[in-house]
Chains A and B, each alone.
Chain A
Amino acid sequence: MKLSTLFLISFLGISMGANAHGPTPKKADKSIIINAPIDKVWAVIKNFDDISKWHPDVSASTGDGQNQSGSDRRMTLASGELEEGLDYFSDADHEYNYRLKTENTKVFPVSSYTTAIQLIAEGNKTKVKWKSRFYRGDTGNTPTKKLSDEAAIEAMYGFIDNGLQGLKETLEK
């Protein structure tokens, strides 16, 4: 390489908007303590298709009732229907993992997510752990406000918080 073939690259001034976060994955890591033994909590939450029985934001839910990897469920929210697929289910670990099967950002402003729900016994009480990894509705570089990181975080956190609270109320009533 000859020095004459080199030339300086000028530094490009870059302005970044406050929302320039882009397709960086986001996480939610929430939990709640429920005043009920783990078997009772598991009995309520274990049936993948029965989320409408404990989640206040879900008015109806249906599925194949199998609770196994490959099972799908459809849930009806106020904004419309969402389809999710079960990837992992363990009675022994009181845990299941699932993911959004078909993106529908008009119903829920998140383009993709995976979720793990797990129960941990704490004496006669139960800790419910809900973890999600997700991307905003529009993973392009100029999302609208409705499909922004902020909108995705608000929707996901809200859904999880309402779910955990609903589960607690279902079990402690």
Chain B
Amino acid sequence: MLRLSLALLLYGFAPYVVSDAYFYINQQQGESVSVFKRSDLTLKTTIPTLKGPAGIAISPHNPWLAITYPEQGMVSFIDSEKHIPLEHISIGGSPFGAVFANKHLFISDWSSNTVKVIQPETGRMIKEIAVGKSPAGIATNACESQVWVLNRESNNLTVIETKQFKVIQNIAVGKAPFALALDERFAYIANSQGNTLSIVDLVNLTEIKRIKVGRMPYGVAVDRKQHKIYVSNQQENTLSVLDSRTHKIIRSLKTGAYPENIAVDEENQHLFVLNWFDGNLSVFDSQTDKEIKRINVGDGSRAFGQFVGKSAECND
């Protein structure tokens, strides 16, 4: 039975920060999400979804996941403690990227060129914000006061403030920006056709640097503890590793075929790389940058977005 769960009723918007014990990989070629334990990297369970799950968001405040289905015009909420689907919501268009920020779910819809804002407790879409063409990667800053979305076909990004849902600024970056990650000071943007990483200052809202990385950068992750930025280079089966203090490339790591979505588990010192073509997940030790394990996740796996929970460090 799919209905609003008790957990959702009990938690509402809890002020404390939940660090989810799991990470999640969508079976885009199928109809499920695989749930893995962050501690020992084993498969915990599989949650049924609709067909073609692509994007994922994990709420840092409530036991919720959101899953997007670009080909269905749908979004699902999932209970991340009981691992059961809660609701499937029709929002139309091609919902792709997703992020929870300031009590709402923000979705990039790459066919309608908007960011859609959903109120989780009602499942209602309360706002559509016009952005650039083919919005893809979407993320929030530490205090969730802004949402940043990459407009792949406009070669820029849009900064939205999360109280009034107003566009603050558009910022030009490299060619075909696709994925991003933020730390306390900067946003790091993978320009997939520019083969570059744009670094944008969160205060001045200006691009301070554009660094050459590998071919077709498709994923970005930041490890705040290790002071590293990771970029997956889809077309050369590598990761570029940058020092976040110097913004210089410190090494390149070999991955499986077509590395796409990447994420960091800062607590367990793991970096995850989804090797799309191989249908497996490389696990690296984020201190040594050595690959320690490869987990089979199946053909057609995708996890567009922050697929490992991240603790928020808002100092406001």
Write the residues of chain A forming the contact surface with B, with a CB cutoff of 8 angstroms: 1, 3, 5-9, 11-12, 14, 16, 20-25, 27, 29, 87-88, 97, 114, 116, 131, 133, 140-141
A11 to B76, CA, bound (A): 10
Q: Which residues of A contact B236 (CB under 8 A)?
A: 88, 97
Q: Which residues of B contact A7 (CB under 8 A)?
A: 122
* B48-88 residues at the A interface, CB under 8 angstroms: 50-52, 54, 69-74, 87-88
Contact stretch, chosen from B1-9, B165-173, B224-232: B1-9
Determine whether the beta carbon of B122 is less than 8 Å from that of A131.
Answer: no
* A-B pairs with beta carbons under 8 Å apart, 26 shown: A1-B13, A6-B122, A7-B122, A9-B3, A11-B2, A11-B88, A12-B90, A16-B50, A16-B51, A16-B72, A21-B51, A21-B52, A22-B70, A22-B71, A24-B300, A24-B302, A25-B276, A25-B300, A27-B277, A87-B215, A87-B216, A97-B215, A97-B235, A114-B234, A131-B257, A141-B70
A105 to B35, CA, bound (A): 38
A131 to B3, CA, bound (A): 43
Write the residues of chain B forming the contact surface with A, with a CB cutoff of 8 angstroms: 2-4, 8-9, 12-13, 28-29, 50-52, 54, 69-74, 87-90, 94, 111, 121-123, 215-216, 234-236, 257-258, 276-277, 299-300, 302
Determine whether the beta carbon of B88 is less than 8 Å from that of A12.
Answer: yes
A41 to B90, CA, bound (A): 53
Q: Which residues of B contact A24 (CB under 8 A)?
A: 28-29, 52, 54, 71, 300, 302
A67 to B74, CA, bound (A): 44
**A11-B88, A114-B216, A133-B276 given; 7 more Cβ-contact pairs under 8 Å:** A5-B121, A14-B88, A20-B51, A24-B29, A25-B300, A27-B299, A87-B235
Q: Which residues of A contact B257 (CB under 8 A)?
A: 131
Q: Which residues of B contact A14 (CB under 8 A)?
A: 50, 72, 74, 88
Determine whether the beta carbon of B111 is less than 8 Å from that of A140.
Answer: yes
A14 to B236, CA, bound (A): 39
Closest 8 CB pairs of A and B: A22-B71, A1-B12, A9-B123, A11-B2, A9-B87, A8-B4, A24-B28, A22-B52
Determine whether the beta carbon of B51 is less than 8 Å from that of A12.
Answer: no
Q: Which residues of B contact A12 (CB under 8 A)?
A: 88-90
B254 to chain A, nearest CB (A): 13
Q: Which of B9, B71, B94, B216 sits near A21, CB closer than 8 Å?
A: B71
- Total contacts A-B at CB 8 Å: 87
A134 to B123, CA, bound (A): 34
A97 to B111, CA, bound (A): 29
Determine whether the beta carbon of A3 is less than 8 Å from that of B9.
Answer: yes
Determine whether the beta carbon of A8 is less than 8 Å from that of B3.
Answer: yes
Q: Which of A22, A88, A131, A141 sits near B215, CB closer than 8 Å?
A: A88
A116 to B299, CA, bound (A): 18
Knowing A9-B122, A12-B90 touch, does A23 contact B70 (C-beta < 8 A)?
yes
A156 to B9, CA, bound (A): 49
Q: Which residues of B contact A11 (CB under 8 A)?
A: 2-3, 87-88
Q: Which residues of B contact A16 (CB under 8 A)?
A: 50-51, 72
A152 to chain B, nearest CB (A): 14
Determine whether the beta carbon of A133 is less than 8 Å from that of B277.
Answer: yes
Q: Closest chain B residue to A97 by CB distance?
A: B235
Determine whether the beta carbon of B28 is less than 8 Å from that of A141.
Answer: no
A155 to B9, CA, bound (A): 50
A32 to B179, CA, bound (A): 35
A133 to B302, CA, bound (A): 14
Q: Closest chain B residue to A6 by CB distance?
A: B121
Q: Which residues of A contact B29 (CB under 8 A)?
A: 24
A142 to chain B, nearest CB (A): 10
Q: Closest chain B residue to A143 by CB distance?
A: B71
Q: Which residues of A contact B13 (CB under 8 A)?
A: 1
Q: Which residues of A contact B123 (CB under 8 A)?
A: 9
A9 to B91, CA, bound (A): 14
Determine whether the beta carbon of A6 is less than 8 Å from that of B9.
Answer: yes
Determine whether the beta carbon of A1 is less than 8 Å from that of B121.
Answer: yes
A2 to B1, CA, bound (A): 24
Knowing A1-B13, A9-B122, A23-B70 touch, does A131 contact B277 (C-beta < 8 A)?
yes
A7 to B236, CA, bound (A): 49
